[in-house]
Amino acid sequence: MLDKTKDISASAQAWLDQFARTLGEAAALDRLFLADSYWRDVLALSWNLQTITGRDAIAQALTVFAPQAAPSNFKIAPNRAPPRWITRAGTNTIEAIFDFETALGRGSGILRLVPDAADGERLKAWTLLTALDELKGFEEQLGISRPRGQAYSRDFRGPNWLDLRNASRHYTDRDPAVLVVGGGQAGLAIAARLKQLKIDTLIVDRESRIGDNWRKRYHALTLHNQVQVNHLPYMPFPPNWPVYIPKDKLANWFEAYVDAMELNFWTGTEFAGGAYDDAKDHWTVTLRRADGSRHIMHPRHVVMATGVSGIAHVPDIPTLENFKGTLLHSSRYEDGETWTGRRAIVIGTGNSGHDIAQDLHSSGAEVTLVQRSPTLVTNIEPSAQLAYAIYNEGTLEDNDLIATSMPTPLAKKTHVMLTERSKELDKELLDGLRRVGFKLDFGEAGTGWQFKYLTRGGGYYFNVGCSNLIAEGAIKLEQFADIEGFVAEGARMKDGTISPADLIVLSTGYKPQDYLVRKLFGDGVANRVGPVWGFGDGLELRNMYARTKQPGLWFIAGSLAQCRINSKYLALQIKAIEEGMLET
C-alpha cells in the first residue's frame, strides 16, 4: 500500500501500522526509513529529549526503547490537521499528525513520508516525532474534567476559595515540592503546567511586583515577534490584542495570569542559593525576603527560570574608568527623556543596543552607536516573521507540535533558506548599512537570527527603524576597533577626535546561566551540570527542559513559545519522578 495508493491518509496509516508491527525488529524497521532520516523522541519512548539520525541508528534505538515503553495504537489523529503534502526544509513531503499510547502515557507525533528514489519510489519516513502528552492516571483536569469546586462552594461552615488560596500560597506549614526561581514567562509556564498536574509549586522572584521583569525594561520596548506566537499555556491572549505586545501590557497580563491560574508566587524574594541532600533527595535553599527575613525551604526540585542569561555582562574595557559621565549597563536603562539635548554613546549592536539608541534619538539626544562585532540585521516585517509563518494558519496545538517535530539539522537548513530570502527582501536596507560601514553577518553557516539566539542568546537586530536612522546618518556609527580609549568627556578615536558623551550605555549582553549556577550552587554542582543553553556537539539544547546530572535541578528558558511548548515536557518529567515512574 505504501507505494501504490494515492490516498495520503491511507499511506500514512499503512506506514504507522507497519511501524507498530515491526517495532522490535531492527531489520524490518530499517526498511521503513530513508537512509538520511531523523527520529526525535520527546519522553515518549526514551524518557529523554533526543534526536537520532540515520536509518540504521534509528532502527537500533527503537529496538532498545520500544520493548519497555510498549507503544501501540498508532492512529492518524482525528481532530488535528489531516495528512497533507507540504514543503518542509525545501523537501516535498506527506505530513501526518498521529496519536499513540505507551504503557505509561499517551502521546502525539508527526510522520513525514518521502518517496525513496533508491527503492522504487516507495514512501519512507524522512522524519518521525514521538512526544509524550500525558501520563495515564494523572491526566490534567481540563474542560469537562475540570474540578467542580464543591469543597468550598457547598460547605458553608468550611473555608471558602480565598481562605484556601491564602493558605496555599503562604507556606506556613509545608515546603513546596518544586521551587521555581524567576517569575517571567519561563517561570509562569512551568508553574502553570505543574499546577495542572497537582504538584505543589512556589515561584520566587526578586522584583517587587509580578511582571516587573518586563515592566522595568526600557520605556519603548515591545515584543519583536507577533502575538499569535506568544501565548502562555491554557490562557491565550485576547483576540483583539495588538500584533506586537507592549512590555507593560505583557507585564500586566503576567499579573492577571498568576491570579487566574492560581499560581503561588512570592515577590520581593531573592533565591540566595542551595545545597542538595542526596540522602534525603531534597534541597536546602535560602530565600531572602524584601522585609529582611530569611526563609529556609526543602523542595525536592528547583527549576531555574531566570532566562537565557541571568547576570549582566560588563566587559573590562581599558580606560573606561576615565569617563566622568553616567555609565549604565543596558539592563539599567529606562527612558531617553532624561537625556534630551544631551549626547550618548551606546556600545553594542544587538536588539537592546539598537532600541536604546533609537529611544535616545527619539527623545532628542545626539547618539553614537558603537559596533563591537558584525551583527545580523533583518527588518521586523516581513523578514523576521518568516520563521513563524506556520502560526498564521492552523491551530496553536498543531503548530507547536510541528515546531517540536523539526530536528535541528533540518531546522538549520530551513533557517538558511529563510535568511537568504530575508537578504533579498532587505537588500536596500542592508546596502545602506554597508555604505556607512556597518558590519553585517548572517549567523554561523548562514543560519540566521534564530540560531544566533539558540547558541548565544543574541547578536542580531530586528529593525524597527534604527537601522534606517544609521543608514541616513541620523544616528552616528563608530567601530569599537577605532576607539583609542576613553577620556572624561567621552571616547577618543584613533584619529585623535573626541566622540563626546554625557551617557555611555553598555549594551553588551549577559553572561551564560553557567555563571549563575556556579554562584548559587557552587563549583561542584556547576561542574556536574556543565554548560546550559546552546548545542555543543549535540542536536538538543544543553540541559534545557530535561533532567540534568544534578538530581532535582532543572532549567527552562527562551521565548514565550519555547516556554509554552517545553514546559509541558519538563512538568511531565517532574510528575513522573514524583509518582515513582522515573528516576532522577
- Residue 161's pLDDT is what? 85
The C-alpha atoms of residue 490 and residue 499 are separated, in whole angstroms, by: 6
pLDDT surpasses 90 at 23? yes
pLDDT of 479 > 70? The answer is yes
Cβ(482)–Cβ(499) under 8 Å?
no
- pLDDT (0 to 100) of residue 143: 81
DSSP 8-state class, residue 375: B
Average pLDDT over residues 416-424: 97
For domain 8-135, give the fold.
Answer: Nuclear Transport Factor 2; Chain: A, (3.10.450)
> Residue 32 phi/psi, 5° resolution?
-95, -10
Output 109-115 pairs: Cβ under 8 A, ≥24 positions apart.
109/44, 109/401, 109/405, 110/401, 110/402, 110/405, 111/12, 111/15, 111/16, 112/88, 112/405, 113/11, 113/12, 113/15, 114/34
Q: Into which CATH architecture does domain 314-508 fall?
A: 3-Layer(bba) Sandwich (3.50)
Average pLDDT over the chain, rounded to an integer: 94
Helix (H, G, I), strand (E, B) or coil at 553: strand
Does the domain spanning 173-310+512-578 belong to CATH 3.50.50.60? Answer: yes
Alpha-carbon span 352 to 355, nearest angstrom: 5
CB neighbourhood size of 78 (10 A): 8
Q: What is the pLDDT of residues 532-570, one digit of tens each?
A: 999 998 999 999 999 999 999 999 999 999 999 999 999
Helix count and strand count (H, E) for the chain: 17, 27
3-state secondary structure 385-397: HHHHHHHHCCCHH
8 A C-beta contact, residue 407 and residue 53: yes
Q: Are 50 and 21 in contact (CB under 8 A)?
A: no
By the 8 A CB rule, do 466 and 371 touch?
no
Nine-digit cell string for 457: 542568546
Global confidence as pTM: 0.94
Domain chopping of the chain, boundaries: 8-135, 173-310+512-578, 314-508
More confident residue, 218 or 333: 333
Q: What is the pLDDT of residues 231-260, one digit of tens each?
A: 999 999 999 999 999 999 999 999 999 999
pLDDT digits (tens, 9 = 90+) for 480-534: 999 999 999 999 999 999 999 999 999 999 888 889 999 999 999 999 999 999 9
Q: What is the pLDDT of residue 456?
A: 87
Angle in degrees, 0-180, between the axes of helices 448-456 and 408-425, rounded to the nearest 10? 130
Q: What percent of the chain is predicted at pLDDT more than 90?
A: 88
The kind and range of the H/E element at 561 are helix 560-578
Q: pLDDT per residue over 369-399, tens digit each?
A: 999 999 999 999 999 999 999 999 999 999 9
Res. 58: pLDDT tops 50: yes
Alpha-carbon Rg for the chain, nearest whole angstrom, is 26
- Position 2 scores a pLDDT of 52
Same-fold call for 173-310+512-578 versus 314-508: yes
The three cell numbers of residue 90 are 525545501
- The pLDDT-based confidence of 11 (bands split at 50, 70, 90) is very high
DSSP 533: S
Cα–Cα dist 577/356, whole Å: 45
Q: Do residues 357 and 348 make contact, with C-beta atoms less than 8 angstroms apart?
A: no
Q: Which residues of 94-108 are buried (b: 16+ CB within 10 A; e: fewer)?
A: bbbbbbbbbebbbbb
| 221 confidence band (pLDDT: 50, 70, 90) | confident
The confidence score (pLDDT) of residue 584 equals: 83
The whole-number pLDDT of residue 153 equals 58
- Round to whole Å and give the CA distance between 454 and 440: 19
- Does residue 1 have a pLDDT over 50? no
Query: pLDDT tens-digit profile of 428-442?
Result: 999 999 999 999 999
Per residue in 77-115, pLDDT tens? 999 999 999 999 999 999 999 999 999 999 999 999 999
pLDDT band at 156 (very low <50, low <70, confident <90, very high): low
What pLDDT was estimated at residue 573? 98
| Alpha-carbon distances of 444 from 312, 513, 533, 537, rounded to whole Å | 24, 22, 16, 14
